[in-house]
Copies of this chain bind each other. A is one copy, B any other.
Amino acid sequence: MRLPRLFLSLILPLTPLLAFSAKVDTLDVPSAAMKRNLRAAVVLPESYAKSKASYPVLYLLHGGGGQFSDWLKQTPDKMLLHKLADQYNLIIVTPEGDRLGGYLDSPVQKDNLFETYIAKEVVEKIDNTYRTIRDRKGRVITGLSMGGHGAMYLATRHPELYCAAGTMSGVMDLNYKTWRIDPNFETQIKPGFARILGTLGSTPDYYAANSVVNMVDRIKANGQKLIIDCGVDDFLIEPNRELHRRLVYNRIDHDYTERPGGHTWDYWQNSLPYHVLFFTNILKANGAVVQ
């Protein structure tokens, strides 16, 4: 396969006084399927430039209403991804999702194909641009809120691509009637969901069919490693508890954590290092780490 032309540019100036010297590329990752120009940030650990090794890749998805650069710009500690990339020697990729963050090939909006984009086009582009471990054993995925949905959803539907998946404060049930929200917020999010999943309550029920909470059989068959967490004050805590209970009931291995806090960047900044620790253990067991 011919390598697509590279567009690498520095998204964030590195603070020279810091010990962390991970490098961040902003990479054009166009979607042929959607005929759209989209970008991703790629955090390369300091060791990458000096090494000839192939690196494991962590895909890290943003939430609804967000964009690819969120994980670099919204965390209280702006160097969080740099530090984690350096400390654990892995590449972190933050791709662009749909504005709502559906991360699926919409059955309704025909040019909304973010499952194809993230799981096929982005992975190919990253694997063709960087020295990566081009195998599920070196590829993991997580995300926050709608990005938690995206990570679990894509990993469950593409077990050949990812050996492990995570979710923080994730939308484990797309049926927003299961969320603890007030009517105003519901009114606000309704059109976005209708755009990609049709009207809630229609037949066929695309909300149910695409919700992680209903994919337990597939999750069991896949046997991937899973890390799930949510804040006890999060409006999404109940669907997360429901998923945990269904996994326990079906004896499906997973890490499940409840922590203080709600749907905030403080929560996600705190949560991400636990996910990276979790993934690193798996990557090590897979022989997919750079020493």
Contact = CB atoms under 8 A, between A and B. Distances in A.
A244 interface: yes
Given A273-B277, A274-B277, A277-B273, A260 B254 contact: yes
Nearest to A278: B274
A259 B178 CA distance: 19
A135 interface: no
A255 interface: yes
A270 interface: yes
Given A242-B245, A248-B232, A256 B257 contact: yes
Interface string A202-229: 0000001000000001000000000000
A4 B96 CA distance: 62
Contact of A238 (B249, B255, B257, B277): B249
A124 interface: no
B248 A245 contact: no
Interface string A233-258: 00000100010110011010111111
A4 to B, nearest CB: 38
A281 B260 CA distance: 14
A258 to B, nearest CB: 5
B277 A258 contact: no
A257 B255 contact: yes
Interface string A81-103: 00000000000000000000000
A251, A258, A277, A281: residue with the most chain B Cβ atoms closer than 10 Å = A258
Contacts of A256: 257-259
A290 to B, nearest CB: 14
A63 to B, nearest CB: 22
Contacts of A254: 260
Given A254-B260, A255-B259, A257-B258, 4 more contacts: A242-B249, A245-B245, A248-B258, A257-B257
Q: Shortest 9 CB-CB distances between A and B: which pairs?
A: A253-B260, A257-B257, A256-B258, A255-B259, A242-B249, A232-B248, A273-B277, A245-B245, A277-B277
